[in-house]
Structures are given as C-alpha cells and as structure tokens.
Amino acid sequence: MSFFYKKLLSTFFILIFLVGCTNKAPITNRNQFIFMSEQQEIALGKQSYKETLKKATLSSDTFQSNRVKRIGKRIAAVVNRTDYKWEFNLVENKAKNAFCLPGGKVVVYTGILEVAKNDSQLATVISHEIAHALARHGAERVSMGMVSNLIGNIGNIVLGSTHPQYVKTFNIAYGAGTQYGVMLPYGRMQESEADEIGIHLMQLSNYNIHEALNFWTNMSKNSKQSKSSFFSTHPSSQERISNIKRIIRKIN
C-alpha cells in the first residue's frame, strides 16, 4: 500500500474515532464531539487559573468581592458538581467581562459591575460563565479545531497527490471557510446555549430570571457593535434578548 493511501486510511480511522466521542450538553441535551477527558480539562483549567491570577490584580473592594463570592456560591450550590473546586474572584479590569475555567474557577472583571445593576443581573453573568464550563464549551472548541485541522490535512493529501499546484489555493480557501463558515457561527451557538443553561441555573438558585433581559439591555446601550453577528463569535444584543425571552417563556 502506498504512503498516500496509508495516510488517507489512518486519517479515515481517526475520523471514525472522533465520531464516536460524543457528549451531551446539560439542559439542552445537544450532542457534542469532545475527545479531551474531563480530568484533563479540569487540570488545564486549574493551571490556567493560577497563571491568570498571577498577572491579575484582585479588587480591594471587600463589599463587591464578597458579593461576587456570595452570588457565585449560591449558583454553584445548585450545580452539584463535587469534582469542581469552586473559586470566585473579582479582578481589577475595566473590561465588561467575566469567565469560568474548567473546574469552577470564576473570574469577574470590575468593569461588569457598571452594567450589572443588581444581584440578579450579576447572577446573569456568573451563571452564563458557569454554563460554559458545565457544557465543556472550551474542550468542544479544542476538539472542533483539531477536526478542522484534520479535514485540512485530508484535502492536502488528496490535492497533493493529484494537483499539487492547487494545495496553496486550497489552504487559503479552507482557512477562510473554517473561520467564517464553521468556527465563528459555532461560537455563537455556544453563547446562546450558555444563555439558556445560565437562565435555568438562575431560576434554580432563586434569582429573578427577568433581570437577564435588563442586563443585556444595559450591555447594548451605547454599543458600537454591528446589527449583524455573522462575523462575530457572540450574538448581537438584540439576538440575545430575543433568545432569552424565548427561554423565559419556555420555563414559565
């Protein structure tokens, strides 16, 4: 068997293996392709969290820091993940952002407090970020990236053996196709899914889920974002609010 066919065959079996690596997202029950173990993911999250805190400045505002911890722990209590070692920290940063690393390591930027006007609105942010970790969106994106690279390699094998002069053209086209046709829309889907899971977590922890709409309305004020979200990893605020209204109607 020639080297080309051996490589093509091995790639085919790898794809078969990937198809078998399925997972279910919580609440939505969406099928996922993830081939990183959760233990590996949590270990990486712990390492990344330590590195993040080394470079960050923790907020000296005791009241707001305790507020973040209190809200975070209340949401974590309904998650029931004994393998997660929950930590919640408020970090000095003007960006209106927050994130949750695998294993329950949550960082909230002080900038988000400007638009999270009450505890339920802050719970909207924290529950959304926790939802990303619970749904293993980070591991899913890593897995999808690896699949994208693998498909690219298959294209290179085929074109390289038949029309080698087209390999460079294929790589350029494939890169654009991956960015705008696969990875970015995939990111928007994950964001919408995290919204849905987060709203359910808010309800379970007895926060006012209607305040999620007010939070995203606050975020959209004076926003310079385009009305279209095609080239963005996040849905527009208008899309987000519409989606959250649908989720609330479904819950009620």
Give catalytic residues, as residue numbers: 129
- Six-digit token string for 31: 């099928």
Kind and range of the H or E run holding 109: strand 105-109
SS3 content of the chain, % helix, strand, coil (to 5): 65, 10, 25
DSSP state string for 70-103:
HHHHHHHHHH--TT---EEEEE---SS-EEEETT
Report the C-alpha gap between 135 and 107 in whole angstroms: 18
- Six-digit token string for 220: 């959209």
Contact between residue 102 and residue 41 where contact means Cβ atoms under 8 Å apart: yes
Phi, psi at 107, each rounded to 5°: -125, 130
First to last CA, the chain: 61
